[in-house]
Amino acid sequence: MSVVRLEVDGSIGTIRLDRPPMNALNAQLTAELRTAALQAAGDGRIRAVVLYGGEKVFAAGADIKEMAPMGIAEISSWVRDLSSTLETIARLPKPVVAAVTGYALGGGLELALCADVRVLADNAKIGVPEIQLGVIPGAGGTQRLPRLVGLSRAKDLVFSGRQVRADEAERIGLADAVVAPGEVYARARQIAESYAGGPAMALAAAKQAIDDGAELALSEALRLESALFTGLFGTEDQRIGMDSFVRQGPGKAQFVGR
C-alpha cells in the first residue's frame, strides 16, 4: 500500500505523507517520497509544491523499530537513502512550502527544513530529539538547522533534544507563519499559489542562487548570480515580463513558464 502520494490540483502539487498514525519515516516512505519529488520536479503542470502530512501530524520522526536492530552497514545505507531523498526535495527547482500539523520531530523536522517556507499549526511541536536516543540528527538536522536559526540556537536544540512549540519556532525563524490547525494546509497552499504564477525558470534560478550562493565565498556567489541572471535572457518569460513592464507597468505580466 502506498504511503506517499502526489496530488496535482491546478498548478500546485501536494506531496502527501500517509503512513498512520505518525507518518514515521521508514524505507518505504523514503523511497516513495523520492519518487514523488522527482515526479513533481518533472511535471510541467506543477509550479509550486506543498509538503503535507495530514490534519493530525506532519511526521513524528524516523521509524525507530526499523532502525534499532541495524548494524553500521545497514544504517549507513538507510541514512544515505534518506539524506539523498531529502536533498532531492531541497533541490526541487520549484518553491516548496511545508504545511506542519502536530509533530515534526527528528526526520520529520529534517524534511520540513528542506522546504523554502514553513507554515505551522499553533499547536505544533517540532524538534530534533535524536540525542535522547544516543545519536545525532543524520539527515540534515545538524546542517540545515544552524543555517536557518544560527549556531547557538541549533546547538541548544540538538544538545537538549527538546521540543519547540509553534510560537518559539516562529520567533527563532523555524516557522514563517503560524495559524490555527484547521488552516495550515489552506495557508500553505495560498503561499504556494502566490509563487506559482511567477516565471518558473526565474524562480528556479533564484532558488539556486540563494541556496548554492550561501555555500560559496561572496565573490563566487556573485559570479553564480550573474551567470544565472544572464541565462534568463534566453527565456520566453523574460521577454514577456519586460515587454509587459514597458507597455503596462509592473506586476501585470502573464508568465508561461518557459
Give catalytic residue positions: 110, 130
Q: Which residues contact 23 (CB under 8 A, 6 or more apart)?
A: 17, 29, 53, 54, 57, 58, 59, 60, 108
Name the grid cell of 245: 513592464
For residues 14 and 47, what is the distance between their CA atoms, to the nearest angstrom?
11
- List all residues 6 or more positions away from 234 whose beta carbon is below 8 Å from its beta carbon: none
What are the respective helix, strand and coil percentages of the chain, to the nearest 5? 50, 15, 35
Written as nine digits, the cell of 46 is: 506543477
C-alpha span between 208 and 9 (Å, rounded): 25
Cα–Cα distance measured from residue 194 to residue 215, given in angstroms and rounded to the nearest whole number: 27
What is the Cα–Cα distance from 103 to 126, expressed in whole angstroms? 6
Phi and psi torsions of 228, nearest 5°: -65, -40
